Each structure stands twice: as C-alpha cells, then as structure tokens.
Amino acid sequence: MRLQTKQGVSLYVCVCVHGNECINANAKYCGECIQAGAKCGWCTDPDFLKQGETVSTRCDELQSLQKRGCADAMIENPRGGQRILKNKMVTNRSKGEERREKLRPEDITQIQPQKLSLTLRSGEPQSFDLKFKRAEDYPIDLYYLMDLSYSMKDDLENVKNLGTSLMLEMSKITSDFRIGFGSFVEKTVMPYISTTPAKLLNPCTGDQNCTSPFSYKNVLKLTNDGQKFNTLVGQQHISGNLDSPEGGFDAIMQVAVCGEQIGWRNVTRLLVFSTDAGFHFAGDGKLGGIVLPNDGKCHLENNVYTMSHYYDYPSIAHLVQKLSDNNIQTIFAVTEEFQPVYKELKNLIPKSAVGTLSDNSSNVINLIIDAYNSLSSEVILENSKLPEGVSIAYTSRCKNGVVSEGENGRKCSNISIGDEVTFSISVTAKGCPKQGKSETIKIKPLGFTEEVEITLHFICECECHKDGVKNSNLCHFGNGTYECGACKCNEGRVGRQCECSSNEVATEDMDRTCRKDNGTDICSNNGDCVCGTCECKKRDNPEERYSGQYCECDNFNCDRSGNKLCGGHGRCECRVCICDPMWTGSACDCSLDTSTCLASNKQICNGRGKCECGTCKCTDAKFQGPTCETCPTCPGVCAEHKECVQCRAFGTGEKKDVCEQKCNDFKLIKVKDRDKLPQPNDASYPVMHCKERDANDCWFYYTYAVNNNTETEVHVVDTLDCPAGPDIIPIVAGVVAGIVLIGLALLLIWKLLMIIHDRREFAKFEKEKMNAKWDTGENPIYKSAVTTVVNPKYEGK
C-alpha cells in the first residue's frame, strides 16, 4: 500500500490480512457464492452494484453487505437444519423388571436417536447429541475358536467342560447367553503340513492318535445348551502341522462372515481366540503357491472351510474391516510367550482384548469374564465412509464430567451397566458434494449392532434460483438467465447484462469508452474494459475496492490518522473521507464531542482554555493537563503529591498499601542526584521543585510537571537525604574518660584535705608541747610497764 505524507514523501507499507473467502471465491452466481462459506451472502438488489463493480461483488460477508447498503430482505443466506426421524428412548429397566419381563434383543435400545436428516450448508456445521446407555441383562453370543495343533493337547481336556461352567458364570451377567465352538489348525498344503498319505491320516509322531489336518471346522453352532457344548467338544481330537505359526486368521475370517452358519444374533458378539502360537497373514500363502488374495466371503461346506488351498491368508486390515462390519469383539487368549505379539495385534483391532492363558487353559473362564468386562466398559464410536468434502467431529461427555475432543472424543471408558454417556457430533460439508445428491452415513458403537442412520442433504443453490427466468429480456434480448438480481449469461456471452459476445470484448471502439477524458489509461489502469464498460480489478485485500465509471475511485487511499483509514471514524469513498457523526477533518480525526474537555467543575477546559477536536488548548500558561486543571507551579502541589511520590519511589508512607490503585496517574522517573532534576530554564513547560520530609526526618527531592503531551511527569532523586546520627564511640569514650578524671580529681582533693588536716594537727601538737609545765625527765603520771612477782615456793635451788 502506498501512503503520501504532507511533505509529499511516498511510503510503501505492507498490509497483511486474512482473505475474505466470500470475495476470494469470485462467485458469478448465488449458488456459487453460498458454497464459498457459511458467512457468505448474496445481495439480490438489482441496483446494488456501483459503477465499475463486477457481479462477484454481490457476494460478501453479511455485515459487509449490510454496511454497503443491501437491505436484509434482499440478502440471500440459506441456512442448514436437522430433523430427527426416529427417536426411540434408550431402554431403562431395573433388576425387578428384568425378571418379570424378558425383552427380545431387537426390543432393547442402547443408542438414541436412531435416524435423522441433516441439511448442510457449506462451512456450516450441524450438531446433534447421541446418547448411549448400557442395557442391563443384554444378550451375549460367545464363539470359542480353539487351536487344535498338537501343542494344545492338554488345553483341550480343560475346554471339554467349558460349556456348563461358562454358562453358569455368564448367568451372573445375562440371562440370555449362547455359546459355540470351532477349531483350526493350518492350510492343508505344503510346507504347512506334511502331505504324505500317512501324515494326512495321522500327522502326529509315535503312537499318538491324531485327526487329519484341516484349516477350520465349525464344530458347534451357537446354542444355549451348555451340555451339548461339552459333549461335542469332548469328541474333538488334536491334529498337527509342521510350522509354528497357525492358520488362525483363515478361521477368524470365516467366523466373521459366515453369520448364518455360526448363528450370530444382533446382540453382543464375542469371539474367543485360543492358541499358544503366532499366526500367518497375507503374503505367507506364497510359500504354498497360493497367490489369490482372500476374498472375505464365506466358504463353509458341511461346516468345514474348503478354500484354504485356494485363497491366501487375510491381511490384518481386511480382518479388522470384517470384524467391525459384523460387530464382533475379539478376545485373544494366548500363552505368556506370545503376549507381546497379540498385544500389538490388539492395538490394530478396535474393541479387542488380550488375556494370558495358562499352559493348560485352566484359567480360561476367568480370562473370558475379565476380558468381557474390559470390552463392555468402553464404548467407541465409528462412522461409515464419508462423502468427499464432508467431515465429522466428536466430543464425548463421559462419567464424572470428563469431556474429550478429537480422536478421544469418540470414546468413553469405565462405563458400568446402566450408565449413560453423551456424544456431541458435528457434521460439516465443504462446497457441494456429489452435485447435491443426498448421501447416507451411519454411526455406531464398535461391537454393537445398533447404529444411527444419517441422511445428508446439501444446499447447493439459493432459494431465488427457483424464480430464475431463462432467456430473460433483462439480459440483453434473452442472452442469459435472470436470477437472484443478476444475469447468468449463456455460453459465449459476457457483460453485466450479457450484452457482448466473448469474441468482441477487446475491440478498439469499446476500449475508447473506457478511457477517462480521452486519456491513454484504460479504466485508470485499475480495471479491464469489458463490452465498453470498466470492470474494476480486485485487490489482494478483499476489503479494498476500486469503483467508478473508469475505476478512478477507491476506498483505501484516503487520509489516515493513528494509522487508521479516516481515523477509524468514517468511510473512504472515492478517496475522500465521509466522517461519522460528531467527527470532522480530512482524516475524521477531529472530534466534535466536548465531553472530554469538561473539567471537574463542569466547565469546558476549566474556563482557562478552548476545546479543539476534543482536546483542551489552555490559554492560561500556568495551567496544564487534559482539562486545564493542573497547575504545576501553584502552591500546595508538592504537599498534594508527597504521599504518592513517597510510596512509588521508596515504598513508604501512608499510601504504600494502596499505591497501585491511587498513585498511577503520573509517570515516575528516578535520577541519581539533585543536579539531574529538570530545571525550569531547561524545559519547555513549567517545572515545580519540591522538598519534602518523611516520618524518619529524611528529606526527598522531586519535580512535578505536565509535559507538552499533557502527561504528568515526576522526577525524583532515588536516595533519601537523612540527618547524620550521633557517633557512639566518642560519646562512650568521653563518658568513661570523664568518670575516670572526676574520680582522680576527687582522690586528689581528698588527699589534699588530708594533708592540710594532718599539718594542722601537727602544728597544734607542737604548740601544746611548748606550753607543757612538767619535768621532761619524769612523768608524774608515768607507771612502769614491768611488774615483779615473787614465787613463795621458790627455794633458790
């Protein structure tokens, strides 16, 4: 896109948009338009198109058509729908009712609805809910298919009493249980078996008595007689073959497709496959010279598979298809050695299970019960092949409110008897599949015979198509069909009214009428001259259009504001903005609404300015802000913003707990020191310097200003200026020194007083001494300190 600035500089801007599928379809008639997408509509108003616009511009999104002036009644927009044709309620019985009333299998309903009809419009999904409920006491058919190769000899002994024992256990689950039995060995050709006459009679070695080898035998058709099962199985004998893998796939195929011979009913169908070996599959038959692919048909004669030598083993995919088509759930009862192989096979076969078979099959009943409970606790939906252009999506609502989409939306697990789950199914068509012919698809739970039948009808034409007039005079003397407000030209005719032949669309005379003011540019280089009339080109951006008699107009080359065409407040017509109400200017960027200029005192611009394009232009230089109410240099500004500056800059103050809510109306810029703060002479707008003190007697410095973009700016010094605290060490040292000095002084004073006192006493003594009157040689009051005592008993010896 090319833009031009006021200075005349051209700018090229790449505009990336998502395509409008309606316009990109370039639809020539209504039916083609509605197939482009669910949002597309066709304007049938004959006067809708402007000069230069092609017929395909009648096709657009609904909102765009309405915006361009097409009335709702003139917009063709058919919608899809759905009708439920059969909606029998799911069976809901209690245990007591089961005993009193025994329903036939065909009378039990586990899925609802059963039949419906969907009408699909291209791109418009149609959704419905499918309900599934596991019925109580639902009938079960179980067919036991056993490998009778020699290695299964001890297993056969335990299976001989399986009938009555399994009937007893299954009676706890259902009152309607039937059981059948079949056996298999291998294809009756080399190298799978030995074809010598003796080995064909008895393939076992030594004195072992074995029956002749065979591919598959249907020993017992499904029956509710457990004793008959025991009797017939008791009559079976082991056979033998040469290689380890067995021909079990041939047997499974025949059990699946021979429904009448096996006796399958439309109930739960279980196939128990018991073996202690691997399996042959498609391609392995070449070893025996068998190259024909398995045909998937029943070939039982007298309950024996007769075409094993003619058809190859079935492939796994072929087997999966037939098991699914016949609603058979498979239980692989295999020995521990082959568990990994059959677990991989289970992953390829939906609704199948693997159980570990003991060496002599003694645990087969518990294995079957556990596998059945596992299979029946999960429901998986599958659908038949979809018509081309039709897609289907599933959303499951399982137990405990678990919701899944995509592939997991097809299934629910851990379902018990009597549980009800719901699936939301959405069907969408793209275009008009099968030329509008109805199609039928089916959805069913794997392993169940019940299904939902859905008939699909496709909307390929508009309603107005029915009222089309062939060879209408409105289409230049009958050269086209007039339908849905436009001409649908006959082959070889072109033009809006089919007025030209396709052979004469590029003549010089016609081109002359497509040049504006006899210029050289045909259709202003923005279109093509068709039948002497300009048909304007389409842009990559479907929202951008050329128009006009000579395609000289467009709706995208108008002035812009805020990188929006016409400021987002108008529409561009022929390169001129047509502004919405309350907007003006060449780019519709000037608002006539004065409500944004109202100050808190309800005055426009606080009485100190003018409201221009919704913005105040302050006439008083001291006042700023969006409504001229801010005065950065007025007294009181610093004290008013002190708490907010303190909490945002330092996280302190009375508003620190509500700082984010009440102090977000200014831009905070931190600086290192006071010299970095904006100075009044440096800025082109008033700046107020502030000095405030916090609760700790620390000073902080900041500036308050409203810049030229009416944004409030606060520059703050990011360090506090706090008064220096007392020096503790000198104080303590001074106190200690003072105490010591005072003590010393007191001692000196005491000493001095004592000396003075002693001297006075001595002088007094001397004076008294001079005044004494007795002889200094003898003291009259002197008494001798010596006393003489004589011992009277002393004899002088």
Which domains, and CATH codes, for the chain? 81-136+381-459 (2.60.40.1510), 143-376 (3.40.50.410), 560-591 (2.10.25.10), 593-633 (2.10.25.10), 637-717 (4.10.1240.30)
Contact of 706 with 685, CB cutoff 8 Å: yes
Query: Tokens at residue 795, please?
Result: 């004899």
- Give the residue, 508 or 55, on which the prediction is more confident: 55
- Give the residue, 505 or 672, on which the prediction is more confident: 672
CA angle centred on 307, ends 304 and 312, rounded to 5°: 130
pLDDT band of residue 795 (cuts 50, 70, 90) is low
Q: Please determine, for residue 434, whether its predicted confidence score (pLDDT) is greater than 90.
A: no
Q: Please determine, for residue 103, whether its predicted confidence score (pLDDT) is greater than 80.
A: no
What 3 state SS string does 574-641 have? CCEEEECCCEECCCCCEECCCHHHECCCCCEHHHCEEEECCEEEECCCCCECCCCCECCCCCCHHHHH
Hey, what amino acid is at 389? G
The pLDDT value recorded for residue 771 is 77
The pLDDT value recorded for residue 172 is 85
Strands 486-489 and 480-483, bridge-based pairing: antiparallel
Strands 81-86 and 59-61, bridge-based pairing: unpaired
162: left (phi over 0), alpha (psi -120 to 50) or beta: alpha
User: pLDDT tens digit string along 492-533?
Assistant: 888 778 888 877 655 666 677 788 887 778 888 888 887 778
**Strand, helix or coil for residue 175:** coil
Distance separating alpha carbons of residues 138 and 161, to the nearest angstrom? 25
What is the mean predicted confidence (pLDDT) over 665-675? 86
| Listed residue (362, 357, 364) closest to 342, CA to CA | 357
The pLDDT value recorded for residue 360 is 67
Q: Is 685 exposed, middle or buried (0-12, 13-18, 19+ CB in 10 A)?
A: middle
* Residue matched to tokens 């419009």: 121
What is the mean predicted confidence (pLDDT) over 422-450? 88
Q: Please determine, for residue 128, whether its predicted confidence score (pLDDT) is greater than 90.
A: yes
The pLDDT value recorded for residue 95 is 47
Contact of 426 with 393, CB cutoff 8 Å: yes
The pLDDT value recorded for residue 377 is 86
532: left (phi over 0), alpha (psi -120 to 50) or beta: left
User: pLDDT tens digit string along 730-765?
Assistant: 888 889 999 999 999 999 999 999 999 999 888 888
The pLDDT value recorded for residue 4 is 40
Q: Please determine, for residue 10, whether its predicted confidence score (pLDDT) is greater than 50.
A: no
What is the mean predicted confidence (pLDDT) over 133-158? 85
- Give the residue, 223 or 6, on which the prediction is more confident: 223
| Listed residue (282, 367, 375) closest to 329, CA to CA | 375
What 3 state SS string does 51-83 have? CCCCHHHHEEEHHHHHHCCCCHHHEECCCCEEE
User: pLDDT tens digit string along 674-712?
Assistant: 888 888 777 777 778 888 888 888 888 888 887 777 788
- How large a percentage of the chain has pLDDT more than 70? 92
What is the signed CA dihedral for 512, 513, 514, 518, rounded to 10 degrees?
Answer: 60
**Strand, helix or coil for residue 128:** strand
Q: Please determine, for residue 113, whether its predicted confidence score (pLDDT) is greater than 90.
A: yes
**Strand, helix or coil for residue 183:** strand
The 8-class DSSP code of residue 672 comes to S
User: pLDDT tens digit string along 186-201?
Assistant: 988 888 888 878 787 7
| Listed residue (215, 192, 216, 193) closest to 204, CA to CA | 193
User: pLDDT tens digit string along 257-289?
Assistant: 999 999 999 889 999 998 888 899 999 888 888
User: pLDDT tens digit string along 333-362?
Assistant: 888 888 999 999 999 998 899 988 887 667
Average pLDDT in the chain: 84
